[in-house]
Structure 1
């Protein structure tokens, strides 16, 4: 039901069926697992923000254009990951709802 996403650093739901096709008990089990994973997202974001800050400090002191471009690219990618993590953090499915955990954002 969940697959680790290396880019995001968390497991995300991968549901082969529609949310409503899962029995209520299974929906509740999926929700419990998701809430545990979801609770780790702010810590993951904090780790990435720390890395961005370190790269920005390095960028401020970098004189080599090629290295500056690489650092900018790395910072952009980390910012993109943070954005995606916030989207996943706001994903909260309703038990016994037609909304899939992969579709609904609060």
Structure 2
């Protein structure tokens, strides 16, 4: 296979994995890749919103948490979710970079 989109559990979206240099693909394949990526990319804002909701719920829980160990766990979970949101926004902005990179 010349390319694929692999689902990333952490991000909740499929990520492009190009097996060769962008310019080595024929125009038809480039269009296929870009079309598929635009479909996935369009879902990123909704995915971010979903993760932000999870962060808000965990922050509410943290606010009312008295157990130190549980507070540490919640902080770690919030941090992981925030990191995923940051990565999703990076992918969202990567639209123009797909043509310049063989692996994302």
TM-score normalized by the length of structure 2: 0.91
SS in 1 for 2:89: helix
The equivalences for 1:60-71 within 5 A come to 60-71=63-74
CA distance in 1, matches of 2:102, 2:20: 11
Please name the residue that 1:100 is paired with. 101
Larger helix proportion of the pair:
2
Structure 1: which 5+ runs fail to align?
none
Q: Is 1:36 the equivalent of 2:39?
A: yes
Superposed CA RMSD in Å reads: 1.6
Higher relative contact order (CA 8 A, sep 6+): 2
The Cα offsets for residues 41-85 of structure 1, whole Å up to 9 and x where unpaired, read as 000000000000000000000000000000000000000000000
Q: Are residue 8 (structure 1) and residue 40 (structure 2) matched? A: no
| Corresponding residue pairs, total | 101
Q: Hey, what's the Cα distance between the residues in 2 that align with 1:92 and 1:66?
A: 41
Q: Report the counterpart of residue 75 of structure 1 in structure 2.
A: 78
Following superposition, which runs of at least 4 residues in structure 1 exceed 2 angstroms of deviation?
Answer: 100-103
Q: Structure 2: state its 5+ residue gaps.
A: none
